[in-house]
A and B are shown apart, each in its own frame.
Chain A
Amino acid sequence: MAEILLRATDIVAGYVKDLPILKQVNIEVKKASLTLIIGPNGAGKSTLIKAIAGVVPVTSGQISLAGEDLTGIRPDQMAQHSIAYVPQSDNIFRALTIRQNLELVLRKSKNSPARIAEMFNRFPPLASKQAEKAGTLSGGQRQLLAVAMALAVDPLLILMDEPSAGLSPKAAQEVLQLARDLTSQGVTILLVEQNVKQAMRLADHCYILAEGRNQHDADASVLLDDPIVGEIYLGGKRMSVA
């Protein structure tokens, strides 16, 4: 049985004090797995990964990564704790070149040139445009760069917030497939995605949130065939607490 890498227990968090968006959410993410978080709008999906990343303050509960308590870390400390976060939008620095974007996230690394070379090997479309401003990239290429920036720091866990948002169906499929491929290379991914069916086909495990609480969780393949899951997204009907 795969080891649990990330454990978030009874997480209460929100942007405004005394107005929690997450109300005692619990998740566990196995090592080298792709775990998906889905739910209707306002369910707290993005807030959950932001809370894990330290972007949203956690009022109570505990977050641990490989047994280390990470509750309340500052966002800039994530990389030190082997976590990378890919925000939904504006996830690259447009005014910097592609290479400078990578150099920036690797500025504390001792083998920065080697890591950058590795990223360019892995993502050839970025290599050919490395001296160009990142703002000139297409939507799909921007997501590639954002993933490359996350991967460059050699994280144990990557938090991805709707990486397919705004992309063409083909580019969206490629980005989600990339997330899947990364898990086979030992990287653990926690993914929030609106593109539910596509993501579920690739995910190992899936959590459903609604109104800031856990509603259900199961293997993604099981949920994929669940008629109620489809109903939630198509009709907005909420499941009863399992």
Chain B
Amino acid sequence: MIQSLADGILVGAILSLGAIGLTMVMHILRFANFSHAELLSIGAYSALVFDALFSGILPILANKVGPFSMTWALILSMLCAMGVTGLSAMLIDRFVFKRIREKGDELSMVFASFGVAMIIRNVLGLIFGLKSQLYSNDIVFAVMVSSEPMLLIKPDQVFVLLAALLIMLMLHFVLSRTTFGYALRAVAENPSLAEVSGIRLSRVIALVWIIGGGLAAAAGVFYGLNNHINPVIGRDLVLPIFAATIVGGIGSVYGAVLGGFIVGIAASMALLVLPSGYSPAVPFMIILVLLLVRPHGLFGEPQT
């Protein structure tokens, strides 16, 4: 059981990073972006490309970092992937969602997001092939933390959890201590008032995409450290990320963090009582239960 809990926490950290960007976009732009999880794929593949590039140019970067399977090149690659994915998210908004936003309604944007998701998935498949890939082919053994109860943890998992928590802490600092963070929260709460308060909406929206994309990229790389990378990462993660967002309450960054951990832990613990084939249904069940009990989520505000 404690093993499932530990695994769930790790998955939860990855889902949280994905859900933060999604909840910000959903709240500010008022639409459910079903292509958000594809940003994880863009991030994971970008890091793969940068990793090969950096390792090729500077072989010293191909050395492993301490007990982890990742290399210095991969760490640098993750940072680059965050930038590339953030920029991609901003460009997707500029060339697709912004145009629809100006002409259509939220529903059109939801349908467009399905289209964008399909395009990203297929383009990644065309470029990188459908075969799964790994950041490292080296086998990293899990460390036995406890024998009774049995708890095995890979060093990479510790890194992922700590890095994810650090990123969340940095985001918390930005949101709660800087005027830029206040501006983000102001736009999320009342865009028209934010605008007359001197905030340029288009700039904040672009930054929200960049931040959301960057966090998704980090989530994608963290996911790839413990799983195979393939073009359907987004398809596999879209539902858990949506569940985390809805559980936390749309618009609440802290809710998204908590929602990610709840969904991750619940899906992992469900394996104790359900056959593994039913595991993907757990996020669905969580969404259904929460919508019945608390429709605005744990930290969200009721619609007035």
Contacts and interface: CB of A to CB of B under 8 A. Distances in A.
Given A80-B198, A93-B185, 14 more contacts: A53-B196, A55-B192, A75-B192, A79-B198, A87-B192, A87-B196, A93-B182, A96-B189, A100-B182, A104-B183, A104-B186, A105-B197, A105-B198, A107-B198
A107 B182 contact: yes
Given A93-B185, A96-B182, A104 B197 contact: yes
Contacts of A153: 198
Contacts, number: 63
Contacts of A149: 197
A226 interface: no
A95 B189 contact: yes
B202 to A, nearest CB: 9
A80 B196 CA distance: 11
Interface residues on A, range: 20 to 34
A94 interface: yes
Nearest to B195: A75
24 contacts: A55-B195, A55-B196, A74-B200, A75-B192, A76-B197, A76-B198, A77-B198, A78-B196, A80-B198, A87-B192, A87-B196, A90-B193, A91-B193, A93-B189, A93-B193, A93-B194, A96-B182, A96-B189, A104-B179, A104-B183, A104-B186, A104-B199, A107-B179, A107-B183
B137 interface: no
A142 to B, nearest CB: 12
Tell me if B's interface is mostly helix, strand, loop or mixed: helix
Interface in A60-118: 74-80, 85, 87, 90-96, 100, 103-105, 107-108
Interface residues of B, number: 18
Contact of A96 (B180, B186, B198, B200): B186
B201 interface: yes
Contacts of A74: 195, 200
A227 to B, nearest CB: 38
Contacts of B182: 93, 96, 100, 103-104, 107
Q: Name the residue among B182, B190, B200 with the largest chain A CB count within 10 angstroms.
A: B182
Most A CB contacts (10 A, CB to CB) among B180, B189, B196, B199 go to B196
B196 A85 contact: yes
